[in-house]
Structures are given as C-alpha cells and as structure tokens.
C-alpha cells in the first residue's frame, strides 16, 4: 500500500498572522487530526471528530477558526465548550498564543469558581472568543451578560466527558441559543449513542474524522516521569546526566529554537551536546548523527521531525524535556531507544498543569509511567568522586609522573607539609571549576518532594532562601495568599518553595529560593498584586546594613590587608615571593 502523503502547514490556506505563529513556535508537521481537520474547518464545513486527548485537537480547530475570525469585531464569534475548568484554561491560553499577531484579539475563559465581576468586565470590553464550562456559560445566558446571537462557530470538546459529567443536556440548551447558520465542530474520544444524537441534531452534513492512535511501545523501554516546574528543568536534566549510566541521549523539545538554546546550555555545563532540527542542512544533519554513532557526541537535542528515522544503537536514554503535543509523537520519541533488543530508559518532564497529557499517554500506550525522584546530592557527589578516582588511576598508569613527583618532594621539604595535605590541595585545584560536591542550594524544588509540603510562614529565612522586598503592603490590602498566588502563577514556582512572608504598611518581605535566574526576577518586577507592581528587589534592610558594617569593622585591619583563619585550621605556607 502506498503511504498517504501528509500535508504540511504550508499546504493549508491559513491566515498570514497564524502562519507567523506556527513558524515562531516551531510547528513543523501537522498531527493526523490537524491534517484532516484544518482544511474542512477552513472551508466552513461542520466536523465530527473522534480522537483521544493528546492528539493535537486544540490546534486542529483553533488554527482554522482563528484564520476566519474578524478581530475588528468586538463581540463573541467563537464559542468553545469544555467539560472542565482545567481544559478551558488550556484551550484559552493556546488560542491566545496562536492569535498573538491578530491585533485586538481577546479570548475569555469562563468557568465556575472564578470571579463573576471580572468575567463581566471583560465581556463588556469585548472578546472575540469564549471558552467555558457549560454551567458558567448558562449562568451568563440567564443573566443576559453573554450574547451568542452572532456566534459563527461552536466547538464542543470532549463530548463523551460532557456526557459522563451530566453536562450533555446543558450543551444542547446552549446550542439552542446560537444562530442556525453557524459552523459546528464536535470532538469526542468515544461515540456513545447520546453523543451521536447531539451530533445528528446540530451538525449539518459534517465531515467525519476518526483518528486511530498507535498504542505500541517497546517492552525493553522503562518509562518514568518527573513532575517539574519550568524554572528547574535544566538543573533536573543536569542531575540526571551526572548520576545515570548514560551511553548516549536524545533530548526532545517542541521548537527548533529551543534545541539550539538547550544544546548551548548543556555545552556550557561541560556536556558534549548538539542541536538537531529542521533548519540544519542535510550535510550537517548527517555529520551530527555520525558523531553520535561514533561516540564523539553524547547528547542530541532534537525536534520530533528532525529525529524521525534516527537509528543509533548506543542511545540509552530519551528525555522529553518538553511534553509532546500528542501521544503518537511520544511513542515515536521513545522509540529512538531500546533498539535491537537493548534496554532503554525514557524520562518525561511533566509540569503540574500537564498531568492530563500524562494520563492520555498512559491510556494510549496502555502502560504506566512511573514517578521518579531526581538523583540526590549524595548520589551526584558519589558519581563525581568515582569518575575523579578513575581519572587519577588512568593518569598514574599512562603518564610519566617523575617530574611532578620531584616537584611534590621539593614542596614538602621546603614547607614541611605532609603528602596528604599536598595531594588534597592539588585535588582541590583540579576540581574547583567543577566541584565534586554540588552546592547545597542547587537542589531543584519538586512538587512531589517530601520536603516540599506546604508550610506555615516562619519568621526566619531558610538557609537555602533569600529575602526579597516587594512594594505592596497593608495599605494596599494585600494578604499572604495574594503574594503566593501571584508568584506561583506567573513563574510556575511551587507554593512550597516560598518561605516566610512579612507584610508591613507599604511593602512586604518574602523568602524565595536563593538562585532565582535574572529573567525570573525581571518578570516579577512587573507583576501586579492588589493594584500594585511588585518591583521586587533583594532586601537590604536596616538589620542587614548594620550587619554588613559590623562585619566590615571586624575584618578590616590596619591597611585593610589582614587575613583571618578558622579556629583550629593550619596556617598555610607564607607567600615568599618578593621577600
């Protein structure tokens, strides 16, 4: 049978503003649901799609519908019904991303538990797309605050879940408030009789699509996931690379630009790494793969398309640095390891909000993905020490060390220092740029880490934290929950990673992890809480200033050049140069 040609995004008549985003986010080839759904939805056809969660449905309907939308008109034109608050938020965020170059576009997520006043304010300002749960949509219809008379398209997402949750009648009632000539798309993982009844009643001559999800995964591949916050992904990957017995690894990211950025960061940390993406010439791609095969390259950071057909037997690990858009991509990714009967390991980084995709992958592959803990600080230390000892043994066996032995003898005679002390000093010099013992504060914060449970706000700063000042206080009616919510939502930092919070009249102090990257701090500068920007800065309060002054007086001697040593420590040899 001849393999069916899969169209590219370039083959579809999407709007230029949408193409621009597709290029920016690095989408290379549409998933099966996207390839089959986008053309009929662009043509205005109704659509009935059977596809599992995690097949790329959101882009399948968002890209064509946004291409047909008139952003100049400030009233709802697209309505998306979802069974849960979480899905409503995911869809609305995705649509906002895809429409970033549609000037004036606004999408509103509508769900129970959210402030109704805020929703009303945004509806009054004008939105072109509404994504919501049936219950809250009906609340607005009863209040008369949401008008659906000019809706041009309705999407019912996960209709079978609507049925299970008792929302299917609500969906029908909502559809009755929409125009007769609207476009309708209904997606469902299964097609029970009640869902088909709704489809027959409300869809006109629909295009029917059924996506079969491939479920086979290699039994020789062990699958693990680590629940991670975006801030700590690189640290987590570094720990895995240092502690695991790895022959070669492929790290998957979603976009082409991310492959280059991550590969460069890994090189900066001392790993042999290179990017593999669709922008590389065929010659450069082949050269990179050849290096990986021969062992002169250990890590390839790749996109899905660039890694297709890649068959390198020494690949022992696959890391899904970014969770894939669909389950089929996951199966293709982890199939790069466990080749030729060898054992392989697949690791998936999962942010808390991506748990739905994790569940979808487990359902599609019919295999559990086990939670993993990051290698401990002790494991990293033991691994580094082991490698260091191996280096010493190799040098002792392979190199002529007579000159250096005489040098050590000379140093010992001159300064009356034991061999053990000299060897320790030399070992320190060798490892100081890459310490054998990781820093205490380099431990990434894990959502499921036993030590990361929510704690009360303590009055003192933790050893691994730093105190910051934010410019919002009692006069602005701020509470600790406001500060915690703003920080965790904006930078995806676990609430358990936030320590003591002290609120004063016109400012507050908050303890955060000591190693926050500069880009995170820059972002928090402009975050708003209770009508005020945080304008976050490292706290240098009166107490800190006094301590700094006292320390300066204690350590400064006449001429400012005196040295201090720890009690019990041996004084090092005097520097005799210039004597």
Phi, psi of 151 (to 5 degrees): -65, 130
Question: What's the pLDDT at 328?
Answer: 76
> What is the C-alpha to C-alpha distance for residues 549 and 574, in angstroms, rounded to an integer?
30
> What is the C-alpha to C-alpha distance for residues 80 and 145, in angstroms, rounded to an integer?
17
In this structure, are residues 5 and 166 in contact, taking their beta carbons and an 8 Å threshold? no
> What is the C-alpha to C-alpha distance for residues 506 and 242, in angstroms, rounded to an integer?
46
Phi, psi of 348 (to 5 degrees): -120, 120
The fold of 453-542 is Alpha-Beta Plaits (3.30.70)
Q: Which two tokens stand for residue 300?
A: 């390839």
Question: What's the pLDDT at 439?
Answer: 58
Q: Which two tokens stand for residue 382?
A: 């033991």
Tokens 């933790």 — which residue? 462
> What is the C-alpha to C-alpha distance for residues 489 and 234, in angstroms, rounded to an integer?
20
Q: Running along the chain, 579 residues long, what does each successive block of 10 average in pLDDT?
A: 61 91 80 91 95 81 95 94 86 90 92 80 91 91 92 94 87 93 93 92 94 65 82 83 88 90 88 89 86 92 81 90 84 81 88 84 84 77 80 86 88 85 85 68 35 34 75 86 79 76 88 82 82 85 44 37 34 41
Q: From 140, 34, 17, 14, select the one nearest 81 (Cα to Cα).
A: 140
> What is the C-alpha to C-alpha distance for residues 350 and 374, in angstroms, rounded to an integer?
13
> What is the C-alpha to C-alpha distance for residues 181 and 184, in angstroms, rounded to an integer?
9
Residues 157-193: b if buried by 16+ CB within 10 A, e if exposed = bbbbbbbeeebbebbeebbeebeeebbbbbbbbebee
**Tally of helices (H runs) and strands (E runs) in the chain:** 20, 20
Domain 9-210 in CATH: superfamily? P-loop containing nucleotide triphosphate hydrolases (3.40.50.300)
pTM over 0.85: no
> What is the C-alpha to C-alpha distance for residues 88 and 110, in angstroms, rounded to an integer?
7
In this structure, are residues 501 and 457 in contact, taking their beta carbons and an 8 Å threshold? yes
Q: Which two tokens stand for residue 222?
A: 């062990």
Question: How many degrees, rounded to 5, is the angle at CA 233 between CA 227 and CA 234?
Answer: 155
Burial zone of 303 (CB within 10 Å; 0-12 exposed, 13-18 middle, 19+ buried): buried
Instruction: Give me the architecture of the 221-371 domain, per CATH.
Output: 3-Layer(aba) Sandwich (3.40)
Task: Work out whether the CA dihedral 550, 551, 557, 559 comes out positive or negative.
Answer: negative
Q: From 462, 519, 511, select the one nearest 484 (Cα to Cα).
A: 511
> What is the C-alpha to C-alpha distance for residues 316 and 336, in angstroms, rounded to an integer?
9
Q: Where are the domains of the chain?
A: 9-210, 221-371, 377-440, 453-542
> What is the C-alpha to C-alpha distance for residues 68 and 43, in angstroms, rounded to an integer?
9
In this structure, are residues 316 and 344 in contact, taking their beta carbons and an 8 Å threshold? yes
- Given this chain, do its domains 221-371 and 453-542 carry the same CATH topology? no
Question: What's the pLDDT at 155?
Answer: 97
Following DSSP, what letter does each residue of 64-87 receive, concatenated? HHHHH--TTS-S--EEEE-SSHHH
């Amino acid at each position: 049978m001849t393999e069916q040609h899969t169209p590219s995004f370039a083959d579809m008549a999407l709007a230029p503003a949408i193409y621009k985003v597709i290029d920016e986010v690095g989408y290379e080839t549409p998933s099966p649901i996207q390839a089959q759904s986008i053309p009929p939805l662009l043509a205005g056809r109704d659509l009935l799609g059977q596809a599992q969660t995690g097949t790329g449905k959101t882009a399948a309907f968002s890209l064509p519908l946004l291409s047909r939308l008139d952003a100049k008109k400030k009233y709802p034109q697209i309505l998306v019904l979802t069974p849960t608050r979480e899905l409503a938020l995911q869809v609305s965020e995705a649509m906002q991303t895809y429409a970033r170059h549609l000037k004036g576009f606004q999408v509103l997520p509508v769900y129970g538990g959210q402030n109704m006043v805020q929703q009303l304010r945004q509806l009054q300002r004008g939105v072109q797309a509404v994504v919501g749960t049936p219950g809250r949509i009906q609340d607005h219809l009863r209040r008369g605050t949401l008008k659906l008379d000019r809706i041009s398209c309705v999407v019912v997402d996960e209709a079978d879940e609507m049925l299970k949750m008792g929302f299917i009648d609500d969906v029908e009632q909502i559809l009755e408030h929409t125009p007769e000539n609207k476009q309708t798309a209904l997606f469902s993982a299964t097609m029970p009789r009640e869902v088909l009844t709704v489809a027959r009643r409300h869809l006109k001559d629909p295009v029917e699509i059924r996506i079969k999800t491939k479920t086979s995964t290699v039994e020789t591949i062990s699958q693990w996931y680590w629940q991670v916050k975006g801030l700590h992904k690189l640290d987590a990957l570094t720990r895995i690379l240092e502690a695991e017995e790895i022959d070669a690894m492929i790290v998957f990211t979603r976009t082409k630009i991310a492959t280059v950025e991550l590969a460069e960061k890994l090189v900066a940390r001392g790993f042999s790494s290179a990017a593999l993406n669709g922008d590389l010439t065929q010659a450069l791609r082949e050269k990179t793969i050849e290096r990986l095969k021969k062992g002169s390259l250990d890590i390839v950071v790749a996109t899905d398309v660039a890694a297709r057909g890649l068959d390198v037997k020494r690949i022992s690990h696959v890391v899904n640095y970014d969770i894939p858009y669909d389950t089929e991509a996951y199966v293709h990714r982890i199939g790069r390891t466990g080749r030729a009967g060898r054992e392989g390991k697949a690791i998936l980084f999962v942010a808390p909000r991506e748990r739905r995709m994790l569940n979808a992958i487990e359902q599609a592959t019919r295999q559990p993905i086990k939670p993993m803990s990051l290698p401990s600080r002790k494991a990293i230390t033991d691994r580094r020490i082991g490698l260091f000892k191996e280096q010493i043994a190799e040098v002792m066996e392979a190199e002529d060390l007579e000159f250096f032995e005489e040098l050590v003898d000379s140093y010992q005679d001159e300064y009356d220092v034991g061999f053990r002390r000299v060897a320790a000093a030399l070992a320190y010099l060798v490892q100081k740029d890459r310490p054998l013992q990781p820093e205490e504060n380099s431990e990434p914060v894990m959502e499921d880490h036993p030590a990361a449970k929510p704690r009360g706000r303590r009055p003192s700063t933790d050893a691994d934290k730093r105190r910051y000042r934010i410019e919002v206080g009692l006069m602005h009616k701020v509470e600790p929950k406001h500060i915690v919510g703003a920080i965790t939502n904006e930078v995806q930092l676990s609430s358990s990673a936030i320590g003591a919070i002290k609120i004063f009249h016109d400012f507050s102090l908050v303890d955060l992890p000591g190693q926050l990257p500069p880009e995170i701090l820059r972002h928090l500068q402009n975050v708003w809480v209770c009508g005020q920007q945080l304008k976050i800065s490292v706290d240098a309060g009166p107490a800190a200033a006094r301590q700094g002054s006292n320390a300066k007086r204690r350590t400064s001697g006449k001429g400012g050049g005196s040295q201090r040593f720890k009690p019990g420590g041996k004084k090092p040899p005097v520097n005799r140069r210039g004597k």
